[in-house]
Amino acid sequence: MKHVLIPTKLNSIASEKLEDSGFSVTQDGDSDIIELVKAHPQTEALIVRSEPVGEEIFEALPNLRLVIRAGAGYNTIDVKTARRYNIDVMNTPGANANAVAEEVIAMILADYRHVVTGDTTTRQGKWEKKKLLGRELSGKTVGIVGLGNIGQLLVRRLSGFDNQIIGFDPVLNPKRAEELGVSLVSLEELFTSSDIVSLHVPEVEETKGMVNSKLLSLMKEGAMLVNCARAGIVDEQAVREVKKQKSLRFCNDVYPKDEAGEKSCADIADLMLPHLGASTFEANLTAASRSAEQLIAYVERGVTRYVVNKGVPDELDEQYQQLAFQIAAIAHHYWESDHAVRRIECSFYGDLHQYAKWFLAPIVAGIASNFDSDNDPEDAEAWLKSKGIGYEVRDPADDTKSYGSSSMTIDLLSGKDAIHQVSVRGTITEGRIMISRINDFDNLYFLPAGHSVVFVYSDRPGVLAKITGELAERGINIEDIRSPSDSRRKQAIAAIKTDKPVPREAVEKIKSEIDAAVGFPLTI
């Protein structure tokens, strides 16, 4: 592998390092990527920033074997199609994290001290000192939603401001939070108590519109919301409505599309930047340097540490990885994020036990929406370590029961003194994933594909009728119901497949009406 194409504005250190190692490099950040690809069909490796890379490029580059995203997020690269073409995809995680964390500090201070307005009016010859009475960051309560790389760096960057820092992260171990100096709280408490809320979660199905009217209405008068994450996690109309009532401050750096034109949040944002989070010399330098180093290590030593779309052993059906993901996701949904995972314990029966390492990434993806199941086992181990979460694969020989070779059990444990545990077992039957047990609700035989809703409640007559009646009123058709009971605890579970998603407000209404201990929607 000797020819590398870099169709983006990336620091020249990448080209320099690669050329020093004997690679032929073409770098052009001004031309169209498709035209560049057509002009260089001999390309064997591609380094990109935010450029879209899909099948058209794979078809045009028959010798392509590696695509490197100089940055963390790789949603612009079709990783699954790349795998079909036997092309590895890498990222450079953490390269941009500090830049984003520092940007949050910059936006907070700029807004608190009216930096933009002060500069503009002073240049105009005005002297509006009396109008620009500011606030101090010191002593404020800062709430951080999402304590991954960026969130944790933000905690460190705030350390000199004597802040009380609270956080929400459903998968961060409390011990790790304590080490960081962060008090973990519920999402509602975070929005209620914070003077400043900073968002650092990915935009996935579970987080779209998560910052809604309910949460925003809890905020203090004049509190600040900072979004340097993704545009879709904030309901702009909700900000618009609550801002009128509480004079909220809104600092924003993210939009549905990174392009010129009018922005829908222009009327509500007190400070707007054109997605500058990763736009620093240092972040670009770091991403460029890591891209070159990873490419050299990949070619010269076969290092695949950061490949995000690795395959699995030929003998292992990839459907079992999907089984592991779905079991973990259901277990995590069962808690409804009320408990931080402290430990994961798994049993893989029969032939599956020898492939245990290949189930780790899907399991982590099941409990963390910002972790991709295509990551390798080493990435998953590093992620668990960063969150302070223990992981154990039990010896199936120690199990007193015997299960089929296509079965696996995943337990999530939480708590320090009082241990909370949820246990889910699943299998594959006739080519379909089936959940056979949740806690002590055995013989469940639930097929989770599609849309579902699950409730756990005191076993008594008439409950199922209330659930199905409410769904019917909302025009939601029921495709299947599984409802075994736990006679020892006198509880029942209702796992209901539906023809469309069940809205969260419907779940909460049903949960209240039937006094359910557990209630959650599920789309897989």
Three-state secondary structure readout of 430-459? CCEEEEEEECCECCCCECCCCEEEEEEEEC
Query: What was the pLDDT predicted at 338?
Result: 58
pLDDT in tens, 452-490: 999 999 999 999 999 999 999 999 999 999 999 988 889
Domains in the chain and their CATH numbers?
3-94+281-301 (3.40.50.720), 97-272 (3.40.50.720), 313-439 (3.30.1330.90), 446-524 (3.30.70.260)
Task: Give pLDDT, residue 378.
Answer: 81
pLDDT of amino acid 391:
94
Q: What is the DSSP string of 117-181?
A: HHHHHHHTT---GGGG----STT-EEEEE--SHHHHHHHHHTGGGT-EEEEE-TTS-HHHHHHHT
CB 434 within 8 Å of CB 426 = yes
pLDDT of residue 404: 52
pLDDT band at residue 311, thresholds of 50, 70 and 90? low
pLDDT of residue 326: 94
Overall average pLDDT of the 504-510 stretch: 93
Measured CA to CA, the distance from residue 414 to residue 334 in angstroms comes to: 13
Q: What is the mean pLDDT of the chain?
A: 91
The answer to whether 290 and 97 have CB atoms below 8 angstroms apart is no
Scanning the structure block, which residue is given the tokens 């259901």?
330
Q: What is the mean pLDDT of residues 48-75?
A: 91
Mean local confidence (pLDDT), 26-52:
93
pLDDT the model gives residue 337: 57
Instruction: Give the amino acid at 78.
Output: D
pLDDT at 487: 85
Average pLDDT over residues 101-123: 97
The pLDDT of residue 325 is above 80: yes
The string over 1-35, giving b where at least 16 C-beta atoms fall within 10 Å of a residue's C-beta and e elsewhere, is eebbbbbbebbebbbebbeeeebebebbeeeebee
pLDDT at 336 over 70: no
| Position 181 confidence tier, pLDDT thresholds 50, 70, 90 | very high
Beta carbons of 53 and 37 less than 8 angstroms apart = no
Distance of alpha carbon 418 from alpha carbon 480, whole angstroms: 36
Give pLDDT, residue 401. 53
Burial class (CB in 10 A: 0-12, 13-18, 19+), 228: buried
Q: Percentage of the chain with pLDDT > 90? A: 72
- Between helices 360-367 and 377-387, what is the axis angle to 10°? 40
Q: Tell me what pLDDT residue 310 has.
A: 74
- Tell how many helices (H) and how many strands (E) occur in the chain: 17, 22
- Reduced 3-state DSSP string for 164-199: EEEEECCCCCHHHHHHHCCEECCHHHHHHHCCEEEE
Closest CA to 493 of 450, 521, 458: 458
pLDDT confidence of residue 305: 80
* Cα(275)–Cα(255) distance, integer angstroms: 8
**pLDDT recorded at residue 397:** 67
According to the model, what pLDDT value does residue 283 have?
93
What pLDDT is attached to residue 186? 93
Asked if residue 315 has pLDDT above 90, the reply is: no
Cβ atoms of 242 and 235 closer than 8 Å: no
pLDDT at residue 202 in the model: 81
Q: Which pLDDT does position 314 carry in this prediction?
A: 63
pLDDT at residue 417 in the model: 59
Q: Find tokens 């910052």 and name the residue.
A: 211
Reported as a pLDDT band with limits 50, 70 and 90, residue 207 is confident
**Starting from the edge strand earliest in sequence, which strands make up the sheet with 164-168, in order?**
183-184, 164-168, 141-145, 196-199, 224-227, 249-252, 271-272
- Structure-token pair, residue 354: 């020898």
| Contact call for residues 443 and 466 (beta carbons, < 8 A) | no
Instruction: Note the pLDDT of residue 403.
Output: 52
pLDDT of residue 377: 84
